[in-house]
């Protein structure tokens, strides 16, 4: 008999989503734009305090438009956090910019402000800086923002993984010149696919909407003075998002409880450490991660293989961008010579099942399997 599948992070539906989707069907608003889109933008902006938001087809689309609005052009340098998913960086390459990758700091695994200062010394005039709140843990975003302001450079804040997380009481995604969120299937709330671009100024978001609807000029006929994109969110997808947003606080509570349970279960294993939290903020704990001590004979692959035998899904830590074949020619800036925090976390870490539908029995099984690898 096949064992029950325990997922890394799967969608959790509640029924409210259907109400908004049904309304879209009943009113024949099934195409892009519509009442759900408008309402979802306003509701998310109100929740995060971001100011204004444009609902788009994906977080990647939001990042692409943020690059365009920041003025990123062919040949420009863009500073980007190396320890992240490639979607954080790919949109800069759409505009034929040149990414320069920056190492992380060990306190949060996010972009190291010291590395950012070194990067500005080497490349004084980048077009933008991309900072990520990895796995839902807030970066040292105040330091990063202040450095960007010192140099007059736009900060693109990738909060794709951190919706609901806060830094000094302020929601992530609201510190940069542009904030982006993702509603992909495994995120803390989902629209199946979709994203949001956020900014304090309404004119900035209106410009994003303009580009996201094929950049059509305000003329009676179809006239275009700019290259546009088909990036707008559909009214049906937005309906799912509105239903999910009603349960975001519940999802946050459950994600944080999973992290605490793992931390307590592994407290007596000195070779195993949970992903660090920022003491100045509150993570959303989108994914709970662990790292294994360097001198430990147990490897992350061993743990993942042991869990896979029980049909339990895990994931390696993101492979840093500066190690990716597609970016092998790009520069990488680190503070500690010969010691890369990004590489160390990648080499020694893994993501544990963080599905909020995990039962107490599921969690007991997961923790027991991991503990057995260390002879506990």
* CATH number where 344 lies: 3.90.1150.10
Q: Judge whether residue 15 has pLDDT over 70.
A: yes
256 plus 238 within the same structural domain: no
Average pLDDT, the chain: 97
141 plus 286 within the same structural domain: no
Confidence (pLDDT) at 324: 98
The per-residue pLDDT for range 333-344, each reduced to its tens digit, is 999 877 899 999
**What is the span of the domain harbouring residue 171?**
16-245
Q: Judge whether residue 1 has pLDDT over 80.
A: no
Q: Is residue 6 part of a domain?
A: no
Confidence (pLDDT) at 336: 82
290 plus 186 within the same structural domain: no
The per-residue pLDDT for range 22-78, each reduced to its tens digit, is 999 999 998 878 999 999 999 999 999 999 999 999 999 999 999 999 999 999 999
Comparing 126-130, 216-220, 290-294, 336-340, the range with the smallest average pLDDT is: 336-340
155 plus 255 within the same structural domain: no
Q: Judge whether residue 269 has pLDDT over 70.
A: yes
Confidence (pLDDT) at 110: 98
Pairing of strands 77-81, 128-132: parallel
103 plus 223 within the same structural domain: yes
Q: What is the mean pLDDT of residues 122-150?
A: 98
Give percent of the chain above pLDDT 90.
Answer: 96
Structurally, the chain folds into a number of domains equal to: 2
173 plus 311 within the same structural domain: no
């Amino acid at each position: 008999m096949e064992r029950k599948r325990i997922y890394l992070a799967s969608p959790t539906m509640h029924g409210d989503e259907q109400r908004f989707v049904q309304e879209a069907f009943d009113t024949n608003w099934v195409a892009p734009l519509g009442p759900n889109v408008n309402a979802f933008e306003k509701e998310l902006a109100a929740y995060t305090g971001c100011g204004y938001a444009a609902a788009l087809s994906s977080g990647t689309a939001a990042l692409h438009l943020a690059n365009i609005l920041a003025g990123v052009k062919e040949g420009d340098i863009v500073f980007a956090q190396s320890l992240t998913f490639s979607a954080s960086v790919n949109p800069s390459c759409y505009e034929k910019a040149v990414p320069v990758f920056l190492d992380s700091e060990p306190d949060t695994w996010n972009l190291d402000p010291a590395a950012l200062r070194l990067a500005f010394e080497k490349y004084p005039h980048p077009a933008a800086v991309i900072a990520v709140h990895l796995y839902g843990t807030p970066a040292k975003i105040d330091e990063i923002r202040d450095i960007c302001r010192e140099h007059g450079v736009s900060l693109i804040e990738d909060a794709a993984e951190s919706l609901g997380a806060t830094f000094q009481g302020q929601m992530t995604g609201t510190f940069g010149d542009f904030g982006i969120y993702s509603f992909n299937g495994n995120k803390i709330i989902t629209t199946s696919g979709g994203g949001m671009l956020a900014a304090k100024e309404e004119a900035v978001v209106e410009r994003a909407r303009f580009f996201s609807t094929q950049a059509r000029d305000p003329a009676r006929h179809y006239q275009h003075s700019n290259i546009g994109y088909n990036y707008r969110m559909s009214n049906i997808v937005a309906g799912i998002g509105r239903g999910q947003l009603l349960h975001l606080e519940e999802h946050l509570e459950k994600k944080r409880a999973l992290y605490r349970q793992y931390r307590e279960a592994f407290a007596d294993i000195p070779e195993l450490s949970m992903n660090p939290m920022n003491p100045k903020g509150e993570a959303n704990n989108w994914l709970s991660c662990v790292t294994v001590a360097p001198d430990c004979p147990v490897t992350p692959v061993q743990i993942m293989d042991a869990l896979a035998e029980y049909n339990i899904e895990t994931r390696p830590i993101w492979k840093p961008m500066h190690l990716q074949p597609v970016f092998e020619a790009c520069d990488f800036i680190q503070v500690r010579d010969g010691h890369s925090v990004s590489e160390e976390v990648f080499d020694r870490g893994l993501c544990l099942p963080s599905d909020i539908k995990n039962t107490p029995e599921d969690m007991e099984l997961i923790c027991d399997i991991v503990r057995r690898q260390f002879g506990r």
